A and B are shown apart, each in its own frame.
Chain A
């Protein structure tokens, strides 16, 4: 089944490691086979990976974009996952991290990425959602 991407003008997206940009009008692209696609809104900058939870997302993103199931990118992700597991004392968070880990092991990195985003955004919305920095 084709994946339909509706793109805003000038929207950037990545397909199998190629950075692409839509033209100056809205556009639609149909991907007819499996590919590693990531939209601009889901791309985290290196400078934004400032916390452990964000670093996990960033590492999964790079792992997904690399499309490799072993090697240095995978090892790096394993190390961050292990660090997160050590850092958490909550059964719910541990379960979530293990789910992310299982998805990566199954080669479902995009799904893992979605979970990892939920993981860090939930945390950041935590105790004082709506309260600003002081």
Chain B
């Protein structure tokens, strides 16, 4: 059943009938495929639980995004859709489409952390410090 077919405000008993399953994909997301899998899992969960999935999705998906990915995407927040679970689901689908469209472009994620700080030479440090001093 799609979220759009569900009542936007299920009774409290239904809301707490069971804990939603965690979103698909486990562990930190390190690549775009992992993120897409997470978003697909989120959509599947909305289909099952409607808005009852909201709190859980925010915790499970966002917490597992790699730091750089988190800065690059904005997860649809249930509170922004004022009870319209169908619109909320569409926002997730839109995110999925955008991620899919950029699958190739993002295989080196913008957020891939630099492995370690570069070891700068004294002359380089001096140069960068001179620039920095002029910026202040």
Q: Tell me if A120 is interfacial: C-beta within 8 Å of chain B.
A: yes
| Chain B min CB distance to A87 (Å) | 5
Known: A51-B68, A126-B72. A17 touches B127 (CB 8 A): yes
Confirm or deny: B55 has a beta carbon within 8 angstroms of a beta carbon on chain A: no
B101 touches A127 (CB 8 A): yes
B127 near A93 with CB under 8 A, answer no
Q: How far is the CB of A63 from chain B (nearest CB, A)?
A: 10
How many chain B residues touch A (CB < 8 A): the figure is 41
Interface contact A123-B109, CB-CB below 8 Å: yes
Flag if A51 contacts B114 (CB, 8 Å): yes
Flag if B118 contacts A76 (CB, 8 Å). yes
Q: How far is the CA of A49 from the CA of B119 in the complex (A)?
A: 12
Residue of B nearest to A133 (CB): B71
B128 touching A45, Cβ below 8 Å: yes
Q: In the complex, what's the smallest C-beta–C-beta distance from A34 to chain B, in angstroms?
A: 20
Residues of A within 8 A of B105 (CB): 90, 92-93, 122-123, 126
Among A14, A53, A120, A126, chain B packs the most CB atoms within 10 A around the CB of A126
B interface residues, Cβ below 8 angstroms from A = 32, 62, 68, 70-75, 77, 95, 98-99, 101-102, 104-115, 117-121, 123-124, 127-128, 130-132, 134-135
